Structure 1
Amino acid sequence: MLFLSVLLSLTKWLCYHIVKSCYQTAKKMKSYSFNFFDLSSTPLHQPSSFPTIMNCDLKDRKSQTLVCDIHSILLRNHSFFPYFMLVAFEGGSILRAFLLLCSCPLLWFLSYERKLKVMIFITFCGLKIKDMEMVARVVLPKFYMENLNFKAYEVLVSVGFRVFFSCVPRVMVEGFVKEYLNGDDVVATELDSLGCYFTGLVCKDGLVVKDWAVMDYFEDRKPDLGIGSSCFNDNHFISSCKEAYMVTNEISPTSIMSREKYPKPLIFHDGRLAFFPTPSSTLYMFMWLPFGIPLSFYRLLLGTIVYYKYGLALVSFSGILINHKGYNSNSNTTKSVTNKGVLYVCTHRTLLDPVFLSMSLRKPLTTVTYSLSKVSEIMSPIKTMSLTRDREKDRETMQRLLSEGDLVVCPEGTTCREPYLLRFSSLFAELADEIVPVAMHANVSLFYGTTASGFKCLDSFLFLMNPWPCYNIEVLEKVPREFTCAGGKSPYEVANYIQRKLGESLGFECTNITRRDKYMMLAGNEGVVKEKK
């Protein structure tokens, strides 16, 4: 018995010291930049004689010139890896993204310069220049905006001339800096290209070194204001400025920029990733794929082969969260005199809006669509009818469908991910006096179920691949007769009234932006599929 007690005590002492030694070793490794979760550069935390940015006076600086880095100063997350992952996944392929993730153990041990060159090579080798331009225009700005340091941004907008320096490739930052931050010039690493493809190599000048780049750019002149980072060796970078301040690495509520203070409204963005792809979150995504792919097929089959009366319960058991409220069977299904069916007017978040509405109402519905892919049309569990964008033909089609039963329309004509409502088409207001608005909102954690420039046939599949996709459905009261065309209102007044009611219900902002505006920005076309002759 005594022997057993001594053995347990010895084991406990040994385990304690092993765990303590491992913890101390891990801390020491982290201090030498062996940090898996930060693949940008080595935090130096060197003391600085420069004051913090909180002490910077913002008055009377419109005639001054400012110099600063982008990642280490303007962004709260200093790691380069997530932005390279976005380019690799959205501009390249899932295979390229997986290769970049697999390089993390190697990047863990490399020096700063070699680490960056390896990420550049894996991300850009063989990548089309036009694909990179698309990512820079419609994918990266969302993640840059969400990571902006508000205090640094306040100093930025107070000056009249802004020059940005960065060691990451110019093609990754120039578009955002000039369009959203009104940057006057960008000094960044240039990449080699061969024809319309990147080689993955940097130009002969190599990576941009901020310290030397500032002196080369301004020569004998001195910039008026410089901002450096206390986590990196920026003392020399800003020492040539007449006035200099430091940004700390601490993330406080004052450094987080709210959506209302964005440089310009972020209404549209594209790409499939709905999360910030740090090494750990990207690893979780790839670990989820073996489970998410069959789960998505299972959810699709449930919606396709199961009767709508029982589909809601089975779909909920598969992990899809559906929050439904506001439905009153006595008031919301009153049939009009001229039509046999009820016209449901929905906000448009994904292609599955009418499907989930049909399940939540437990009744068959018909929906009209624009440019629906053949795959989505075949897999749809409810009846779909394509519109032609010919106003008279579409009017006849919708009137016929209304005479046959209940109809769902999405007057925005396209989806919008952000809390905005696009302009409502007024055609639906001319067709029925019995109109029921439906406020719909979808939440995802891994993949967006919409795209403007990608493969639309994968929209529903990717939405259902999320672990816990969520749909919030609120059926509002029927539109009063005095606010319909039968009550003397014009179709445009009816459309604007319903848009405003849905916006108030969701807390979204109403806009005059159209479907055409969205596709011109995200895909460079009007979003119309030409018929084959």
Structure 2
Amino acid sequence: MNSKSLLKSLYLIYKFSIRRLRTSYASYGRTQKHPPPEKLSGQTIVCDMEGGLLRTSSTFPYFMLVALEAGGLLRGLLLLILCPLISCLGHEVGLRVMVMVCFLGLRKDKFRVGRAVLPKFFLEEVGLEGFEVVRRGGRRVCVSSMPTVMVEGFLQGYLDVEVVLGRELKVFGGYYTGLMVKEEEERRRRRRVRRRQAWLWRSCWEMRRWGKAGLLDSEAMPLVFASSVSSPTTVRSEVYSVSEAEKRRWHPLPSSKYPKPLVFHDGRIAFRPTPVAALCMFVWLPLGFLLASARALGFILLPYDLSIPLLALLGMRNRVVTSSPPPRKEEEEGRSSRLYITNHRTLLDPLVIAAALRRNVTATTYSISRISEWISPIRTVRLTRNREEDKRRMKQLLEEGELVVCPEGTTCREPYLLRFSPLFTEVSREVTPVASETSVTMFYGTSTNKLKFLDPLFFLMNPFPCYEVEFMGRVPTGSIAGEVCSSYQMANHLQGEIGRLLGFHCTSLTRKDKYLMLAGTAGVVEADDKGR
């Protein structure tokens, strides 16, 4: 046999093998570009999270968030330094390197980034088109190359996904080792645990094999894998794909279409830390720390007539709106006290109100660090959460001068108002509501961790932090529009008025709800942590 005949025989064998491979997969399902809505209704939808739900397939920003929020700045800096190397490695090797850097040595029972931090960034990156396709299905399953602990809280908590198939991490002594379980081991373990739903896991793994077998276009990603079950052992499926070029034209999912409102989230980082954005943050940190120190010293040491122009010069923007002009000191001769209530955005709320009034006020607090109390330029008084004792203290403080109270009891970053405690209506015959709003670009000035005394510093480290306060007219606490009301009705009424002015949504959630969701505690600082 000459060389020409040999080459021809090899080509025929290769062509026959490829045809058999495609035929075997075609008997299982077929690929299409656009899924018909009527075919997806009531079907089981298996979606690739990075390829078919998010507008970009890059996972680096989410690992950077894990490194910064769970591991600290040094771990985040190491991940940023390794970024060029990770981009040169293959997807699987690069993924394992990021997992090793981000998770090595973290305690499993203390890891809360997946449920407290990442959902906000995932929701902001969800594509409207991919979301609408996934929501049409009856049962929803999501596959991700990221560890399950990173994506499960978002997919099940906010998108109502029934099953999450991510990568599992190895644990030793309660700490993550930074190693991932191999896919073959995952598959065997899941089959043992969920033997009754073997058809569902078969669908998930077949979708991965579909992409690896090269049956999709070179730039296409599996969008959904719609399955229908005719018997416990028979699965009929269709694969729908989307290219990266098409995903770049997707629209972000508007907050009004979130299946579950994003009311609470935690973490210091206020931006999506892509490699370039993370590099800019690390370059800014030294200058930001010096700038925040200068702003803080101006707040603490200088009188308001000097500190306010200095803060404006240092880039902090403040805006005061008065529906009813706040009285000056000389106008208050016949009145020794006034109660201000405000929604709670950061620990600086009472300071900004004092600066707007150009005089010191007293602020009530609950469970803040001793350091924050020591450096505060205004007087702070702790409440006890004992209703009668707190009422007595607030009445005494009102007799001594002006008082600022935050009825929510804790801060909220998103445009929502937590339930107002009605206690303030029982200590004064009239109150002055104040609506507060903040905006940041790099760091959030609130947290639920033990280092809460750093909250004001992080807020002031933003390049151009902004505070807006609006003083509303005085309101009698005993009646609404001339009709007698209870303390609870008045608290709800003022919550609604502040929410209407700010454009915020009112909720019945409380401080306890926030801390149980984000930190797994009741929000009380332990005795040995109060001095931190």
1:247 aligns with 2:231: no
Instruction: State the Cα deviation string for residues 419-459 of structure 1 (Å, max 9, x = none).
Output: 00000000101111231111001111111111113411111
Quote the Cα distance in structure 2 between the aligned partners of 1:195 and 1:519.
27
Quote the Cα distance in structure 1 between the aligned partners of 2:68 and 2:139.
34
Which 5+ residue runs of structure 1 have no aligned equivalent? 1-48
Task: State the identity %.
Answer: 43
Quote the Cα distance in structure 2 between the aligned partners of 1:451 and 1:266.
16
1:433 aligns with 2:429: yes
Letter in 2 for 1:346: T
Q: 2:440 corresponds to which residue?
A: 444
Q: 1:100 corresponds to which residue?
A: 79
Deviation at 1:393, TM superposition (A): 1.1
Q: 2:157 corresponds to which residue?
A: 179
1:74/1:149 contact within 8 Å kept: yes
Q: TM-score, normalised by structure 1?
A: 0.82
Q: 1:410 corresponds to which residue?
A: 406
SS of the equivalent of 2:436 reads: strand
Q: 2:133 corresponds to which residue?
A: 155
Superposition map of 1:29-44 within 5 A: none
Flag the 1:457–1:481 CA change in 2: closer, same or farther, 3 A: closer
Quote the Cα distance in structure 2 between the aligned partners of 1:465 and 1:105.
28
Quote the Cα distance in structure 2 between the aligned partners of 1:440 and 1:528.
25
Deviation at 1:246, TM superposition (A): 2.5
1:503 aligns with 2:499: yes
Quote the Cα distance in structure 2 between the aligned partners of 1:320 and 1:253.
36
Pairing partner for 2:307 from 281, 305, 311? 311
Superposition map of 1:445-524 within 5 A: 445-479=441-475, 483=479, 488-524=484-520
Letter in 2 for 1:390: N
Superposition map of 1:266-305 within 5 A: 266-305=262-301
Deviation at 1:183, TM superposition (A): 2.0
Misfit runs of 4+, over 6 Å = 206-209, 213-216, 219-223, 226-231, 330-334, 484-487
Pairing partner for 2:145 from 164, 167, 172? 167
Instruction: State the Cα deviation string for residues 397-416 of structure 1 (Å, max 9, x = none).
Output: 11111111111110000000
Q: 1:46 corresponds to which residue?
A: none
Which 5+ residue runs of structure 2 have no aligned equivalent? 1-29, 192-197, 228-235
Deviation at 1:327, TM superposition (A): 5.7
Deviation at 1:253, TM superposition (A): 7.7
Bigger share in strand: 2
| Structure 1 range deviating more: 156-165 or 89-98 | 156-165
Quote the Cα distance in structure 2 between the aligned partners of 1:144 and 1:233.
21
Count of paired positions? 476
2:116/2:267 contact within 8 Å kept: yes
1:341/1:403 contact within 8 Å kept: yes
Superposition map of 1:29-428 within 5 A: 50-53=31-34, 56-59=35-38, 61-132=40-111, 134-205=112-183, 217-218=201-202, 232-234=219-221, 242-249=237-244, 250=246, 255-326=251-322, 328-329=324-325, 340-428=336-424
1:167/1:208 contact within 8 Å kept: no
Quote the Cα distance in structure 2 between the aligned partners of 1:427 and 1:494.
10
1:89/1:96 contact within 8 Å kept: yes
2:62/2:118 contact within 8 Å kept: yes
Letter in 1 for 2:348: L
2:319/2:469 contact within 8 Å kept: yes
2:51/2:223 contact within 8 Å kept: no
Quote the Cα distance in structure 1 between the aligned partners of 2:394 and 2:226.
68
Q: TM-score, normalised by structure 2?
A: 0.82
Deviation at 1:129, TM superposition (A): 1.1
Say what the alpha-carbon RMSD is for the aligned residues. 3.2
Instruction: State the Cα deviation string for residues 343-400 of structure 1 (Å, max 9, x = none).
Output: 1111100000010111122121111011121111111111111111111111111111
Deviation at 1:202, TM superposition (A): 1.7
Deviation at 1:341, TM superposition (A): 1.1
Deviation at 1:204, TM superposition (A): 3.8
Flag the 1:424–1:329 CA change in 2: closer, same or farther, 3 A: same
2:438/2:466 contact within 8 Å kept: yes
| Structure 1 range deviating more: 413-422 or 114-123 | 114-123
Deviation at 1:145, TM superposition (A): 1.0
Deviation at 1:230, TM superposition (A): 6.8
SS of the equivalent of 1:521 reads: helix
Quote the Cα distance in structure 2 between the aligned partners of 1:458 and 1:420.
24
Q: 1:42 corresponds to which residue?
A: none
Quote the Cα distance in structure 2 between the aligned partners of 1:435 and 1:86.
42
Deviation at 1:332, TM superposition (A): 8.9
SS of the equivalent of 1:247 reads: strand
